[in-house]
Amino acid sequence: MRSFVLSVLFISMAMAAAAQKEDVPNGPADGQASPVATALKEAEPQAQASQPAAPQKSSSSNLPDAPAQPPSNVPLAGQQQPKRILGFMPNYRAVSAGVRPAPPSSKEAFKMATQNSFDYSSFLFVGLTSLLAKGTDAHPDLGKGVGGYWAYTWRGFLDKTDGNYLVLWALPTLLHEDERYYAKGHGGFWKRAIYAGTSVIITPNYHGRNTFNAAEMIGRAGAQAISTTYYPSGDDTTIDLAEKFGYSVGRDSLTNVFREFWPDIARHVLHRHP
């Protein structure tokens, strides 16, 4: 009984399939082109005749390609950053507007920190700031006279050197941050000034993306922490350290603003190329 039912079901399915196949229109017979194909074949010579002949390739195709566009690492006109400003102030950290060099290696960062620490202008700068600090009696325990001035000077030099190696070399190498200053070189005054001033907060990493400038903040704070080991114990209060930290970060910020506008000052005010 079960086999009979299965046989009937199989026969019914075969008949339905045959009926469905008969409803489908037959295609062209083997070797016989369809009317559509015949029409297309007849129209093809006319279409080819109406099209202009393709120009023949000349020997110029073997010539070298045209020169490529200038590289993007060309400085903007009139915005080159010099190695020294006014022939005195070291400007090794600055990168000209429009230039995007490769991330600095650890060796390059170390060299930059050394140049900023031991340049002859650094000693003159420390000597001047030490004289001002002594004149205002910033640290009374350091004494007066020549001995007091020397006490201010070597401590000021250590402050500057510790900060440079932490901010420009050690921490950037560890955190993969680029502590060079990338000049903007275009835009309105306030837009450029804000960009330059906030570069101590925002800096590019080794991938070219902007990130929090941890090397600057941690490095300057670390330099102040180290200074507690060689300044008198009464000068290491939280307020004193906060003031020195704010001064060092503010100095870096204003220096970058000066770097940003120096090419314009040199060209429009001093009438000279930077």
SS (H, E, C) the chain: CHHHHHHHHHHHHHHHHHHHHHHCCCCCCCCCCCHHHHHHHHHHHHHHHHCCCCCCCCHHHHCCCCCCCCCCCCCCCCCCCCCEECCCEECCCEECCCCCCCCCCHHHHHHHHHHHHHCHHHHHHHHHHHHHHHHCCCCHHHCCHHHHHHHHHHHHHHHHHHHHHHHHHHHHHHHCECCCEECCCCCCHHHHHHHHHHHHCEEEECCCCEEECHHHHHHHHHHHHHHCCCCCHHHCCHHHHHHHHHHHHHHHHHHHHHHHHHHHHHHHHCCCCC
- Quote the pLDDT of residue 18: 42
- 53 within domain boundaries: no
- Quote the pLDDT of residue 236: 72
- 3 within domain boundaries: no
- Quote the pLDDT of residue 32: 45
- 201 within domain boundaries: yes
- 51 within domain boundaries: no
- 45 within domain boundaries: no
- Quote the pLDDT of residue 42: 52
- 23 within domain boundaries: no
Residue 211 bridge partners (DSSP): 203
Which two three-digit tokens encode residue 149? 């001035």
Q: Is the pTM of this model over 0.85?
A: no
How distant, in Å, are the alpha carbons of 126, 192, 207, 232 from that of 150? 11, 39, 44, 15
CA 265 to CA 274: how far, in whole Å? 9
Give me the domain span that covers residue 121.
84-269
Mean pLDDT, residues 64-74 taken together: 51
Contact (Cβ atoms closer than 8 angstroms) between residue 260 and residue 193: yes
CA 133 to CA 153: how far, in whole Å? 9
- Quote the pLDDT of residue 179: 97
- 226 within domain boundaries: yes
The domain tally of the chain equals: 1
Q: What percent of the chain has pLDDT over 70?
A: 73
